Chain A
Amino acid sequence: MTDLAQYQDVTTIQRILHTAKTVAIVGLSANELRASYFVGFYLKRHGYRVIPVNPREKEILGERGYPSLTDLPGPVDVVNVFRAPGALPQIARDAVTIGAGALWCQFGVINEEGNAIAEDGGLDLVVDRCLKIEHARYVGRMHWLGFNTQRITSVRTGLQ
């Protein structure tokens, strides 16, 4: 068993949330009821450029889709993965190849080989966390729905 806590560092998570501009979502579905669509919709709404990576779809969320990471025309800050864990090693290799800044694996996307490839390639790595939830926890409005953000602060800041 890998200790996932090392891939859930809150400082890393917040740095990614605050610095990333472009997010490639591998496995983004065109079905509005799938979790990946919820995440893509939310990220786009909050100002991130979302690039769908899905060989079966030409366009999702009004954005042109690409069959794989290596087909992307420009650099990406975060590769966000909604695929079966077994697909992760190849996705991690591709993420390293295109010089992505971070590999972010959603809930249940856990693969030790993939993790090692990303780490060896110098990428920031987040595993078994949801990009939308973490955004909503730190800069969004997750607490408006009674969810436990675990945040304790007496500092006055704005919300997105």
Chain B
Amino acid sequence: MSEDHRYGFETRQLHAGQRPDPNTGARAVPIFQTTSYVFEDPESAAAYFNLQEYGNTYSRIMNPTVAVFEERVANLEGGAGAVAFSSGIAAQAAAFFTLLQPGDHVVASAALYGGTVNQFKHLFGKLNVELTWVDPDDPEEWRKAVRANTKAFFGETIGNPGGNVLDIAAVATIAHEHDLPLIVDNTFATPYLCRPIEWGADIVIHSATKFIGGHGTSIGGVVADAGTFDWSNGRFPVIAEPSPAYHGLRFHETFGTYGYLMKLRAETLRDLGGALAPLNAFLFLQGLETLSLRMERHVANAHKVAEFLDAHPLASNVTYPGLPGSRYRPLVEKYLPLGPGAVFSFDCAGGREGGQDLIRGVTLWSHLANVGDAKSLIIHPASTTHRQLGDDELRAAGVGPGTVRLSVGTESVDDLIWDLEQALEGAR
């Protein structure tokens, strides 16, 4: 028997979550393009809806193609399970809605993706959830921000776009000292470069749209749960106490390790919508099959592009944490030994106009609002992704008027450097 063999990451990115289809033998993951599933009999239907049996009911709540993607991400992240969503933002909303009530409070890093800041500030604010923004680099700030009604800590493994590297173990320790979960957005690192659960994080969120998909074809997100947080510690009646939305079920007591995941799926996904389409799950699975190979190349190219910019007179403040001078080097060596991803920013000489001139000048880099594509991408955050933020919020997120964000792709790196060089000369 080979049952206790431990498979490597590259094997699991190809196989986890899938078995050859028992009906057809199909080797590729079949796309189950169906809204619903025929029940065997009334008793089976009732058992599925009562969560007494693992069964498919309706594709807003579960789908066999999506399930392969969910299990594969859970496996790669080292979690107990995962639930997929129609976007990273939907995944994030669902992860929080599952554990928050009006009047609750969240402590979050101030250096986050602009879309996340909007969601927390405006959507969560509208639902009377309070936020405290902290300098993610100072663990004591996290500790000082805790209140009686705090329900979670939140940060990004690698901040967008400032390149802050989160000290996951330090922040997780403080969270756990206060009976709180640490939720980490691991989009920029991917589970190949960093697995936050191994460092103490409780819940990991991804925009699968980025490196997981890897080819810029589909929008999607996923929440993976370690399954180890004690939701019955008194702070989370919303998960531990009988749920009025599921005929009095106590999710944590009944499902233990899987309590949060069951509530996330059977209540939050059911009620919020935002289910991932089976075709998009299939495309994400195709992406995951080559994740490690692509990330190795992304990281190698990002290093070379960052070094080029670091030495260029018209570029400054290159935030790639892999550079020798980065203040995040010790954290990179601890959490991201294979490299700190491929997204970073730099400040273009000439401020706002200089940044815009650079973007007009490039011909190979694509000017668009995404990251994590195999193709190299470029954007000017102050006029696009971070446009809704005020000057103070921009500074807190590490964005200046001339800041340009790069997502370094897997092209011939000489071509990427050549294009940036000619565009910088043109912007002079």
Contact = CB atoms under 8 A, between A and B. Distances in A.
A145 interface: yes
Contact of B15 (A133, A147, A152, A158): A152
Interface residues of A, number: 35
B71 interface: yes
Nearest to B79: A148
A148 B71 contact: yes
18 contacts: A10-B3, A10-B4, A33-B250, A34-B254, A38-B254, A41-B47, A41-B53, A42-B53, A142-B54, A143-B67, A144-B54, A144-B62, A146-B83, A146-B84, A146-B265, A147-B74, A147-B261, A155-B20
Given A42-B53, A141-B53, 7 more contacts: A33-B242, A42-B52, A143-B19, A144-B54, A146-B81, A146-B82, A146-B84
A2 interface: no
B340 interface: no
A144 B79 contact: no
B174 interface: no
A52 B415 CA distance: 71
A143 B20 contact: no
Contacts of B242: 33
Nearest to B75: A148
Interface of B: 1, 3-4, 7, 11-12, 15-17, 19-22, 25, 47, 50-56, 62, 64, 66-68, 70-71, 74-75, 79-84, 242, 247-250, 253-258, 261-262, 265
B254 to A, nearest CB: 5
A19 interface: no
B267 to A, nearest CB: 14
A38 B52 CA distance: 6
Query: What are the 5 A-B residue pairs with the smallest beta carbon separation, nearest first?
Result: A146-B70, A147-B81, A148-B74, A141-B54, A10-B3
Contacts of A144: 54-56, 62, 64, 67
Contacts of A153: 15, 19
Interface in A1-58: 10-11, 14, 32-35, 38, 41-42, 45
Contacts of A143: 17, 19, 67-68, 71
Contacts of B56: 144
Nearest to B257: A107
Contacts, number: 108
Given A146-B70, A147-B80, A149-B71, A157 B55 contact: no
A158 B67 contact: no
A149 B67 CA distance: 12
Contacts of B21: 156
Interface in A121-160: 130, 133, 136, 140-159
A144 B17 CA distance: 9
B54 A150 contact: no
Contacts of B247: 33
A144 B51 CA distance: 12
B22 A158 contact: yes
Contacts of A33: 242, 247-250, 254
Given A10-B3, A35-B253, A141-B55, A146 B261 contact: yes
Contacts of A150: 75
Given A11-B3, A141-B54, A144-B55, A156 B254 contact: no
A36 to B, nearest CB: 10
A11 B25 CA distance: 26
Contact of B52 (A41, A142, A149, A159): A41
Contact of B67 (A14, A45, A107, A145): A145
